[in-house]
């Protein structure tokens, strides 16, 4: 056995997080199939991958809907090997532990299993920090377990960076009230709504004088790089009372690509996602889309109809299965209700074909994407929109709109956020 293959699973995942970018589905599938230690050894080797590895990864990638080029292990290895010299898992682990943190991995008992639902885009691990500069707890993993609340007590509060005074007040007050009742607020640590939500949660924690996790910030760069710089004091405060999290290793720079992929983790960690303010093209809406794909409830706060800052939230209420949120109690009902996800039945009514009409006639009327979607359904069980997207190889927004059409035609039904065939 080589020296590098003797790396522990945690060290191997630390090294892999340095070479495989967030959202690189081929890399995630390879690690899932081969295991982190074998995957790391394969990347750092200069030889061609064994034929069995190539075939296995290609088949998994095809099932995940990747194109023929995207599922080539040879192309993937060429991409990842450009960063091998930068990767040193043991070094990065020493560095994060000096800062009062560690790397949480899927093999740990404390791993948030909700993130597994993101497969094949589930993170390889989560780097975390539980102490501000100059104060390092002796046992970061133990500290993590006290600061990571139960899944049903985590809510994402997100929105635009360019918020209005109204949005700032709403985000702060909602988060403060939720945190005062033991609900952890998850956001992205950015300017605007994110920062207002974090501050509201921290205010509740100070008032209650406790150290439970009032707020978790998921960053788009390393947790040792407190970005944006204008929020440094806020992020220090979060690390002291809550958690800083990232799938990227120490020192990694935040980029636009990484911000977008970070949003799936915010949605994946949360029992529900609330969008306070968002323009039509706001990145916060991508967090909502990820939550919908996971069949998690989504809420939106209404705003001034003349304000561009609320145009995205209003569109969310019009076009997606989203809940109207006006206070913290609305959010509590979202995550505690037995039927937490409104279905496409709430969409504008469409002419419905009668059940007596032959199934073949209805299928013949479908567009090709809707036929792919219908064919992706299992025969006798329910399935989430996220799994449907994976099986059909279609983007999540297209799946959601397709479900509306299929339901209107009496072909599929919704139950507690999952979908099944009517036939």
pLDDT digits (tens, 9 = 90+) for 323-353: 999 999 999 988 876 333 333 333 333 333 3
The pLDDT > 90 percentage for the chain reads 60
Task: Please state the rounded mean pLDDT for residues 388-408.
Answer: 76
Task: List the one residue out of 268, 276, 118 whose CA is nearest residue 190.
Answer: 276
CA distance 267 to 290: 6
Q: How does pLDDT run across 3-58, given as a tens digit for each residue?
A: 444 689 999 999 999 999 998 999 999 999 999 999 999 999 988 999 999 999 99
Per-residue confidence at 213, pLDDT binned at 50, 70, 90?
A: low
CA distance 245 to 64: 27
Residue 421 is predicted with a pLDDT of: 87
CA distance 139 to 261: 29
Greater confidence (244 vs 210) lies with: 244
Q: What is the 3-state secondary structure (H, E, C) of the chain?
A: CCCHHHCCHHHHHHHHHHHCCCCCHHHHHHHHHHCHHHHHHHHHCCCCCCHHHHHHHHHHHHHCCCCCCCCCHHHHHHHHHHHHHHCCHHHHHHHHHHCCEEEECCCCCCCCHHHHHHCCCCCCCEEEECCCCCCCCCCHHHHHHHHCCCHHHEEEEECCCCCCHHHHHHHHHHHHHHHHCCCEEEECCCCCHHHHHHHHHHHHHHHHCCCCCCEEEECCCCCCCCCCHHHHHHHHHHHHHCEEEECCCCCCCCCHHHHHHHHHHHHHHCCEEEECCCCCCCCHHHHHHHHHHCCCCEEECCCCCCCHHHHHHHHHHHHCCCEECCCHHHHHHHHHCCCCCCCHHHCCCCCCCCCCCCHHHHHHCCCHHHHHHHHCCCCCCCECHHHHHHHHCCCHHHHHHHHHHHHHCCCEEEECCEEEECC
Largest CA distance in the chain: 72
Task: Please state the rounded mean pLDDT for residues 299-324.
Answer: 94
CA distance 112 to 150: 9
189: left (phi over 0), alpha (psi -120 to 50) or beta: left
Taking 70 as the threshold, does the pLDDT of residue 275 lie above it?
yes
Encoded tokens for 313: 């939230």
Which pTM value belongs to this model? 0.78
Of the listed ranges 72-86, 237-251, 409-423, the least confidently predicted one is 409-423
Residue 386 is predicted with a pLDDT of: 77
Greater confidence (385 vs 297) lies with: 297
Taking 90 as the threshold, does the pLDDT of residue 145 lie above it?
no
Greater confidence (127 vs 147) lies with: 127
Taking 90 as the threshold, does the pLDDT of residue 268 lie above it?
yes
Encoded tokens for 191: 């300017």
Greater confidence (353 vs 248) lies with: 248
Residue 364 is predicted with a pLDDT of: 60
Greater confidence (250 vs 366) lies with: 250
Segment of 65-69, 303-307, 361-365 carrying the highest mean pLDDT: 303-307
Residue 351 is predicted with a pLDDT of: 30
Residue 117 is predicted with a pLDDT of: 93
Residue where the block lists tokens 């995942």: 13
Task: List the one residue out of 95, 134, 99, 171 whose CA is nearest residue 325.
Answer: 171
Bridging pattern class, strands 215-218 and 243-246? parallel
Cβ count near 326 (within 10 Å): 12
CA distance 269 to 118: 10
CB contact set of 379 (below 8 Å; sequence gap of 6+):
421
Q: How does pLDDT run across 98-136, given as a tens digit for each residue?
A: 999 999 999 999 999 999 999 999 999 999 999 876 676
């Amino acid at each position: 056995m080589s020296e590098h293959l003797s790396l522990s699973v945690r060290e191997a995942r630390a090294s892999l997080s340095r070479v495989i970018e967030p959202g690189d589905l081929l890399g995630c599938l390879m690690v899932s199939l081969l295991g982190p230690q074998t995957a790391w050894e394969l990347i750092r080797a200069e030889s061609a991958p064994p034929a069995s590895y190539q075939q296995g990864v290609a088949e998994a990638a095809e099932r995940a809907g990747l194109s023929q080029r995207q599922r080539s292990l040879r192309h993937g290895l060429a991409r990842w090997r450009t960063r091998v010299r930068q990767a040193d898992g043991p070094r990065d682990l020493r560095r994060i532990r000096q800062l009062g943190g560690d790397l949480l991995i899927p093999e740990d008992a404390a791993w948030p299993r909700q993130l597994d639902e993101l497969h094949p885009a589930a993170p390889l691990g989560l780097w975390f920090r539980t102490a501000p500069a100059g104060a390092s707890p002796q046992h970061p993993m133990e500290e993590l377990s006290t600061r990571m609340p139960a899944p049903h007590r985590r809510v994402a509060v997100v929105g635009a960076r360019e918020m209005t005074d109204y949005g700032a007040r709403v985000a702060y007050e909602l988060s403060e009230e939720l945190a005062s009742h033991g609900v952890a607020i998850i956001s992205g640590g950015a300017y605007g709504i994110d920062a207002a939500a974090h501050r509201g949660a921290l205010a509740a924690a100070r008032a209650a004088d406790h150290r439970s996790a009032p707020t978790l910030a998921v960053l788009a760069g390393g947790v040792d790089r407190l970005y944006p710089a204008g929020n440094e004091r806020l992020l220090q405060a979060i690390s002291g009372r809550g958690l800083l999290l990232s799938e990227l290793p120490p020192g990694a720079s935040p980029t636009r690509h990484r911000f977008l992929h970070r949003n799936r983790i915010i949605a994946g960690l949360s029992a529900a996602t609330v969008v306070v303010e968002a323009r039509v093209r706001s990145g916060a809406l991508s967090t909502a889309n990820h939550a919908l794909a996971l069949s998690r409830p989504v809420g939106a706060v209404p705003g001034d109809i003349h304000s561009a800052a609320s145009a995205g939230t209003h569109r969310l209420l019009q076009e997606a299965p989203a809940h109207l949120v006006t206070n913290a109690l609305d959010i509590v009902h979202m995550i505690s209700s037995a039927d937490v996800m409104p279905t496409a039945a709430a969409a504008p009514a469409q002419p419905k074909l009668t059940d007596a009409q032959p199934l073949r006639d209805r299928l013949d009327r479908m567009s090709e994407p809707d036929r792919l979607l219908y064919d992706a359904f299992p025969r006798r069980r329910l399935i989430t929109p996220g799994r449907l997207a994976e099986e059909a190889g279609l983007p999540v927004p297209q799946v959601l709109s397709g479900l509306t059409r299929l339901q209107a035609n009496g072909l599929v039904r919704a139950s507690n956020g999952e979908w099944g065939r009517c036939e």
